[in-house]
Amino acid sequence: MELYHTTDADGISELNPSIDKMRELLGSLDARDADEAEHPDVSLIHDHSGWSLSVYPSGVVTFENLDEVDDVPRFMSGITRNQALEMWLELSRGQIQQVNSRPWLRDEA
């Protein structure tokens, strides 16, 4: 069984949340004041690998390995909540290559 957890905008984590809970978390990004929160993103972390997908109210998604100090985060913009859910589900199943095969951009300035 893959271990993963989500973290909401308040910093509260939940281990192996259901698909419905994931939808609820992503839906919380549509609250009026979501983009004004101290931590406006919600994220899913695949615990074994350290890969993380963070989703922001604006539709920006970042993909990075929290265990790799030199890893440059990848990002995409214009991502719908359903697309974000699809990526979260892939990552929760440990399908790192599937997530990584998407058209990520890197800001290596």
As a whole number, mean pLDDT of residues 62-78 equals: 93
Q: What's the Cα-to-Cα distance from 76 to each of 19, 81, 107, rounded to whole Å?
A: 22, 13, 11
pLDDT at 35: 64
Residue 109 binned pLDDT confidence (cut-offs 50, 70, 90): very low
Closest CA to 88 of 24, 47, 44, 32: 44
Tens of pLDDT, residue by residue over 34-60, are 667 677 899 999 999 999 999 999 999
Cβ atoms < 10 Å from Cβ of 72: 11
